[in-house]
Amino acid sequence: MYIVHAYPQAVLFCIITMLCWGSWANTQKMAGKTLRFELFYWDYVIGILLFSLVSALTLGSVGSEGRSFSTDLQQASANNILSALIGGVVFNAANILFSAAIAIAGMAVAFPVGIGLALILGVLINYFAAQKGDPVLLFIGVACITLAIILNAIAYLRAGGTGKKVSPRGVIISLIAGLLMSFFYRFIAGAMDLDNFAHPAAGKMTPYTAVFVFSVGIFLSNFLFNTLLMKKPIDGPPVNYKQYFSYRFRTHLVGVLGGLIWGIGNSLNLVAAGKAGPAISYGLGQGATLVAALWGVFVWKEFASAPKGVNARLAAMFVFFVAGLGFIIFAGS
């Protein structure tokens, strides 16, 4: 399988993760013109599962290092398989709520609040589980990102939220999603041997196998979570599976693309975790908040009607976010 051996390459993979995780929601915004997010989300989950399988059968099965996907899956212990599956379930619960928050509050708000909280808590959880990197630099980076999130919240309140009345519900849903999101990575990382991808301990999985099992957990739990949400939506009237199948195949491809984009980031992030450590890898990946905020501000114009002073706060938010990511990178160098 393909393994990362150099820290700069691990950082590069994490930056690609940041771009992917911060950009997939654009497909939800595009599909939202014709497709409710509950229906879009099925396509998104299918995209994640498809990429995990393709990745496992290609990068996860070539080369002379590590175990191939089929061999690795067969030897994985029940506890580790369960851990990766639980990670998928936790992620799915968080991400469905997060998708709802995007639909209600917009990318420029949902990402900094929800994913920003997930970044802060997730870095702490993953660092204390596997202490790798300079803790001082790491936590300074987290502190900078916390300031960025506060500045974004102030800017949102000042702007009135994309020209509409401020939605406390959107912010609350973002916070709940972020809290749940901070835990999923620990379950999937715990199923792998982060210290030795080339010769992982018996029962542990390689990142490619763990990502596949994790994706299966997302897919299976979606039959429960998303079906409930379709019947009792957070916003708007109920939708059903008949409506889902009434759309053209081309319409569904947008959601599948979103899942593929997120899946690429997820796989690269976990491959990088062996060299960078889970706290740094996760923290850099969740810098997606910055990418999404840029999309929300400059492409989707979610602060277009903002009063004077808001742009200065947004600029300060970006500065603190970039500084925070820089400290996180240097923490592992």
Count of CB atoms situated within 10 Å of the CB of 222: 23
Spatial separation of the C-alpha atoms in residues 108 and 54, rounded to whole Å:
32
Spatial separation of the C-alpha atoms in residues 140 and 199, rounded to whole Å:
34
Total count of domains within the chain: 1
- Tokens coding 244: 């889902």
Residue 262 lies in a domain: yes
- Burial 12-31, CB ≥16 within 10 A → b, else e: ebbbbbbbbbbbbbbbbbeb
| Amino acid 204: pLDDT | 97
- Going 39 to 40 to 45 to 51, the CA torsion angle's sign is positive
pLDDT band at 306 (very low <50, low <70, confident <90, very high): low
* Alpha-carbon 182 to chain mean position: 10
Residue 16 has pLDDT above 90, yes or no: yes
Q: Which residues contact 259 (CB under 8 A, 6 or more apart)?
A: 24, 43, 44, 45, 46, 47, 48, 49, 50, 51
| Amino acid 319: pLDDT | 92
* More confident position, 102 or 203: 203
Residue 119 lies in a domain: yes
| Amino acid 107: pLDDT | 66
pLDDT tens-digit map of 226-268: 999 999 987 789 999 999 999 999 999 999 999 999 999 999 9
Mean pLDDT of 190-205: 94
| Amino acid 14: pLDDT | 94
pLDDT tens-digit map of 105-154: 776 677 777 877 888 899 889 999 888 889 999 999 989 988 887 787 67
Q: What is the average pLDDT score of the chain?
A: 89
Residue 1 lies in a domain: no
DSSP code of residue 201: P
Residue 76 lies in a domain: yes
Q: What is the DSSP string of 300-315?
A: S-TTTT--TTHHHHHH
Residue 2 lies in a domain: no
pLDDT tens-digit map of 63-85: 888 899 999 999 999 999 999 99
Residue 326 lies in a domain: yes
Partners of residue 192 on adjacent β-strands:
205
Instruction: List the domain range (segments joined by +) for residue 304.
Output: 7-331
- Going 126 to 131 to 68 to 269, the CA torsion angle's sign is positive
Residue 318 lies in a domain: yes
- Burial 60-91, CB ≥16 within 10 A → b, else e: bbeeeebbbbeebbeebeeebbebbbbbbbbb
| Amino acid 89: pLDDT | 97
Answer for the pair 27, 257: CB distance below 8 angstroms, yes or no: yes
Residue 274 lies in a domain: yes
| Amino acid 312: pLDDT | 86
